[in-house]
Amino acid sequence: MPNRESNDGSNRAKDDQPTDAMIAEIAKSLDDLGANFALLRSAMTGLTQHAAETQAARLQIEVELAARNEGTSEAELAGLRERAADASAFARAVDAGFPTTAPGAPPLGSDAEAIEMIDFTNNGYAEAVRLLREIGHRGELEIKTVDGRPPGGRVVEQAPRPHTRLAADARIVLTFAVAREATVPELVGRTRNEATQFLASLGLQPKFSGPSRASIVSKQKPEAGTRLARDGEVELVMTGKDR
């Protein structure tokens, strides 16, 4: 009897061991899972690219229609053009594989060279990408937006924080949003066009006064540093001639 029980236990232990067929089946399942994930990731990238290109095309049409509309202000047109430029830059970046937001996507470089994180706050998408390349970043860039749409507005959050030392291939996260408020910039001494474009980039509207041919800002209200609601007006007194 003891020998029979011992033999039964040994047989059960053998039955619990994975066979070559079982191992091969598990390996095949893992391969299939990897292939399905690759297909899903490719599909997600394709959908992102299509959405980005559609958004860029739509904004470009809005720019063309606004340019033909005599009622469109210079500030509105400048704002639309900037949004269209950012959308086009995003579409090109997706098409080129940079940035990548796919889960587990490999970094674009493996260089361990250290770089210093700069402050991206208030930069648009195209400018942020340019600055990243300028400081030598070659790693993964994750883009987040408050409303879930392709990047618009300005950088409102970033990780790591400014002045952080990190590897050139480290992952960086930038969050974009259209701010509800903006800080009024210093505009005295700028030309009419410069002031218009600067305010448009912040979502603010210029209100000019002074001689019709004057093109240099001599006074402004509110003063630089004031927080103003989006679409708020900045009064600009013009004088002198263009530089």
Q: SS3 of 235, please?
A: strand
Summarize pLDDT for 81-109 with one digit per residue, the tens.
877 777 777 766 665 554 433 333 334 34
Query: How much is the mean pLDDT over the chain?
Result: 75
In this model, does residue 58 exceed pLDDT 80? no
Q: What is the pTM of this model?
A: 0.37
Give residues with Cβ within 8 angstroms of 133, minimum separation 6.
Answer: none
Give the DSSP H or E segment for 201: helix 192-201
User: Domains (ranges, CATH) in the chain?
Assistant: 42-177 (3.30.10.20), 181-239 (3.30.10.20)
- State residue 42's pLDDT score: 57
Give the DSSP H or E segment for 177: strand 172-177
